[in-house]
Amino acid sequence: MTSTVGLLKQAEDLAPSNPKRAEELYKQILNSTVSTSNGSTVNIDKEQSLRDQESALIKLAELYRDQKDASGLAQVITLSRAFMSSTAKAKTAKLIRTLLNYFNSIPNSRQTQIDVLTDNIEWSKREKRIFLKHSLEIRLVSLQLEALQYKLALARIDALLTELKRLDDKMILTEVHLLESRVYRGIGNLSKAKAALTSARTAANSIYCPPHLQAALDLQSGVLHAEDKDYTTAYSYFYETFENMSSQDDPAALNALKYMLLCKVMLNMPEDVTSLLSIKLAVKYAQLREIESMRAIALAHQNRNLADFEKALRDYKHELSSDPTIRSHLAALYDTLLQQNLLRIVEPYSVVEIDYVAKQVGQGRQDVEAKLSQMILDKVFHGVLDQGRGCLIVFDEPEADNTYGAAIGTLGQVSKVVDSLYAKTIKIA
């Protein structure tokens, strides 16, 4: 029988030109055993065979990754269980993480990953591989969070926290509380998101917190401060995260930089965006499309130009709408910019046609009418919409009438005098 080493070399050589044949050879290695006449199974060199099987698993997974075959990769992970049963638990966890990471290069594979993880969590539970189970569950919650499956994610988190508190594993506890904070922020429950982040930091303070985990905690802190409109504090957290991740060449540093630029725009300091992108750590990201999108938004905001702002949103739709944090804050910024433009247009008039205002801001009449109505209710300016004539009537800001206030003040002073005189009368008596 051809040795597994020879088959492995042959499969590697064939992979670029004949992936189908290479796939067959890798599967042959994974199924290879040497049988004796009495029916027992013996391995001539067990250690070498295990090494070859591990290599075959990884190479086969790489083959499916390069072919963007998510279902094939899922089958490899299922096949790997037989191999994992004969290896150390720590090595098993590392191998399955490696195989799962290959999904990252396959588009539209999230649901396949969720199915694979669910299946392997059940397997690890049956095999009593608790550490592996927790590791897979954390990954599953991350995917459920991405898929906006908040209810499923919270149910999994609650079960995990119950187990982890009993085991007192602070590292994994920190990760799970961080995920919990992100899920609660996703459903808009900011008070619970903050409480979960506090729990994560408390757990992290009692252990050595790896740089990537510390950066993730700082990033979430920045996101929650930004939700509270405290963009100055949020910026400082994002800067810490950016420095930390950049020093490790972590791709996630790009997100932190985008959030830093967002904070500058939201603080009405869009002119700082250019100077920020000239610092040493940021230079290598400056020409990326994600950063170009934020630069376009900053320029539109600086010029108070609604048309340029909308153009940036269209031109960089994927970069600006795929991230919920960027998307929600830019929606608020767009609303503010629209309000400023409307005020600038109606300010010189006492009566102005709504159609004219809509044409000037480049918006639909119905949207402009709704926004003007909201601004009147919020007392941004004083006026009334005359829908019969299709116009806006703008009033001068009414002067405060302090007649009643002055009268009440006088009565108050008289009351004090009467009280004083009454007190003196009591003393004399």
Give the pLDDT of residue 34: 38
User: What's the pLDDT at 429?
Assistant: 55
| Paired tokens of 408 | 């009440």
HSE (side-chain half, CA atoms, 13 Å) at 141:
27
356 and 366, same domain (yes or no): yes
**Are 254 and 286 in the same domain?**
yes
The dihedral through the CA atoms of 281, 287, 290, 295 has a sign that is positive
What's the confidence (pLDDT) of residue 43? Answer: 45
pLDDT (tens, 9 = 90+) of the chain, 429 residues, equals 446 666 667 666 666 777 777 777 777 777 764 333 344 444 445 666 677 777 778 888 888 888 888 888 888 888 777 766 666 666 777 788 888 888 888 888 889 899 989 988 998 888 888 888 898 999 999 999 988 999 999 999 999 998 888 887 888 999 999 999 999 999 999 999 999 999 999 999 988 888 889 999 999 999 999 999 999 999 999 999 999 898 888 888 899 999 999 999 999 888 888 888 888 888 888 888 999 999 999 998 888 888 888 889 989 988 888 888 899 899 888 888 888 888 888 888 888 888 888 888 878 888 888 888 888 887 877 888 888 888 888 887 666 555 566 666 777 777 777 777 767 676 665
In the numeric block, which tokens belong to residue 340? 């400023």
For residue 122, being part of any structural domain is answered with yes
Give the SS3 label for residue 361: helix
**Rounded CA separation 68/107 (Å):** 7
Q: Does 155 fall in a domain?
A: no
| Residue 99 included in any domain | no
Structure tokens at 212: 């990537």
Considering the domain boundaries, does residue 43 fall inside one? no
> Is 340 part of any domain?
yes
Q: Same domain, yes or no, for 403 and 381?
A: no
Q: What pLDDT was estimated at residue 32?
A: 65
Cβ proximity of 60 and 27 under 8 Å: yes
Give the pLDDT confidence score for residue 58 in this predicted structure.
83
What pLDDT does residue 398 have? 62
- Do residues 342 and 421 both lie within one domain? no
| Element (DSSP H or E) covering residue 384 | strand 383-386
- Report the distance separating Cα 55 and Cα 195, nearest Å: 45
Inter-residue long-range contacts of 381-389, CB under 8 Å, 24+ positions, other chains counted: 381/343, 381/346, 383/346, 385/354
**Number of compact structural domains in the chain:** 5
- The candidate with the shortest Cα–Cα distance to 241, out of 261, 260, 264, is 260
251 and 291 in a common domain: yes
Rounded CA separation 48/50 (Å): 5
Residue 31: the pLDDT is 72
Please answer whether residues 76 and 57 qualify as being in contact, where contact means their C-beta atoms are separated by less than 8 angstroms: yes
Domain identity same for 307 and 392: no
Residue 46 lies in a domain: no
**Could you list the residue range(s) of the whole structural domain that residue 385 is in?**
352-397
Q: Which of 347, 381, 411 is the last residue of a domain?
A: 347
Question: Which ranges of 303-380 would DSSP assign to H, the alpha helix?
Answer: 306-315, 317-321, 324-346, 354-361, 365-377
Q: Both 324 and 247 in a single domain?
A: yes
Same domain, 124 and 64: no
With respect to residue 110, please indicate whether it lies within any of the assigned structural domains: no
83: its two tokens: 């191999």
Q: 372 and 303 share a domain?
A: no
β-pair partners for 41: 35
Which of 213, 205, 158 is CA-nearest to residue 180?
158
- Please report, as a single letter, which amino acid is at residue 190: L
**Which residues 6+ apart lie within 8 Å of 221 measured at CB?**
197, 237
